[in-house]
C-alpha cells in the first residue's frame, strides 16, 4: 500500500510543472460576421465600398464613392440619418437629383434612336425637340448638383440601355408603336418625380429648379400622349378584329 501511495505521489509531482505551464484560457469574443460591403478573402477581412467586390464595380455603376445620391464628403452615417429625416418630412433632394439626372440621360439616348429610326413624322419632330430640351435640362441639373456637391449618374443605367437596345432592333410601324409607348411611360415617371420635388423638396435651390422644369416636362407629356394613344387605339382595333369583342373584354381576371 505504501509503495502504491509513493508511486501516486511521484506521478503527481511530475505532472504538476506541466499543468502549471498551461496558459490561462480567456473568454473568446466571436468575430462578427462580415457586414454588407465586406469581403473575406485569402488576405483576411477587408471592407470595400458598397456595390463593389475588390476593385470591380457592379455592372451599371459608374460613379465612385461617395455613392450616387449622396452629398460630397458628408456621405455616411450622417447622410443616412438625413435620408431618414427626409423620408419622414419631405423629398430627399440628393436622391431626386440622381433620379432626374438618370432620367434625363436616358431620355436623350432614347430620343436619338427615335430621331434616326422613327417613320412617323410626328415622332421624328418630337424626338428632335426632346434631344434639345432635355440636353439643356441635363446641363442645368449638372451645374446645380456640382454646386451642391451631389453625386449624380454620368452614364445611362442598365435598364435604359436594355430598353434602347430592344427598340433599336425594331423598324417601321412596330418601332414607332413601341417607341411612342416608351416615351409616354418615361415622361409620366418624370412628371411624378419633378412634381414631388417641386412640392416637397427640402433644398430651396433644387426645389426651385424642379418647379421651373416641371411645366416643360408636363408639356412633353402632353405632346406624346396623343401620338401614343393613336397606336394604342390601333392595337385595340386589331384585338377587336381578332376576337370579335371590344378590347378588354374576355375571360374574367381571377
- Each residue of 63-111: pLDDT tens digit? 444 566 665 544 443 444 444 544 556 889 999 999 999 999 999 999 9
Contacts of 242 (CB under 8 A, 6+ apart): none
Global pTM reads 0.62
The domain ranges of the chain are: 72-243
CA 38 to chain centre: 21
CA 126 to chain centre: 27
Assign 246 a pLDDT band (cuts: 50, 70, 90): low
201 contacts 160 by C-beta, under 8 angstroms: no
Please state, in angstroms and as integers, the Cα–Cα distance from residue 229 to each residue in 166, 180, 235, following that order.
21, 9, 10
126 contacts 223 by C-beta, under 8 angstroms: yes
pLDDT of res. 232: 87
Mean pLDDT of 28-45: 43
State whether CATH 1.20.1260.10 applies to domain 72-243. yes
The mean pLDDT value of the chain amounts to: 74
Q: Enumerate long-range contacts of 216-220, CB under 8 Å, 24 or more apart.
A: 216/133, 216/137, 217/187, 217/190, 217/191, 218/191, 220/129, 220/130, 220/133, 220/187, 220/190
Mean pLDDT of 5-15: 43
Amino acid at each position: 500500500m505504501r509503495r502504491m501511495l509513493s508511486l501516486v505521489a511521484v506521478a503527481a509531482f511530475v505532472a504538476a510543472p506541466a499543468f502549471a505551464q498551461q496558459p490561462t484560457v480567456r473568454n473568446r469574443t466571436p468575430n462578427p460576421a462580415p457586414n454588407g460591403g465586406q469581403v473575406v478573402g485569402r488576405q483576411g477581412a477587408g471592407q470595400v465600398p458598397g456595390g463593389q467586390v475588390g476593385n470591380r464595380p457592379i455592372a451599371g455603376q459608374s460613379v465612385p464613392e461617395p455613392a450616387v445620391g449622396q452629398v460630397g464628403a458628408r456621405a455616411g452615417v450622417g447622410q443616412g440619418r438625413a435620408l431618414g429625416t427626409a423620408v419622414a418630412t419631405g423629398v430627399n433632394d440628393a436622391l431626386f437629383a440622381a433620379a432626374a439626372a438618370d432620367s434625363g440621360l436616358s431620355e436623350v439616348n432614347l430620343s436619338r434612336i427615335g430621331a434616326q429610326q422613327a417613320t412617323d413624322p410626328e415622332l421624328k419632330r418630337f424626338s428632335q425637340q426632346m434631344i434639345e430640351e432635355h440636353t439643356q435640362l441635363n446641363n442645368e441639373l449638372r451645374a446645380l448638383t456640382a454646386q451642391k456637391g451631389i453625386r449624380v449618374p454620368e452614364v445611362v443605367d442598365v435598364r435604359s440601355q436594355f430598353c434602347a437596345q430592344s427598340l433599336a432592333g425594331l423598324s417601321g410601324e412596330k418601332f414607332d408603336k413601341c417607341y411612342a409607348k416608351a416615351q409616354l411611360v418615361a415622361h409620366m415617371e418624370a412628371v411624378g418625380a419633378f412634381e414631388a420635388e417641386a412640392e416637397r423638396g427640402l433644398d430651396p435651390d433644387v426645389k426651385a429648379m424642379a418647379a421651373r422644369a416641371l411645366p416643360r416636362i408636363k408639356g412633353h407629356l402632353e405632346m406624346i400622349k396623343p401620338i401614343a394613344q393613336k397606336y394604342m387605339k390601333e392595337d385595340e382595333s386589331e384585338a377587336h378584329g381578332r376576337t370579335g369583342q371590344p378590347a378588354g373584354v374576355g375571360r374574367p381576371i381571377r
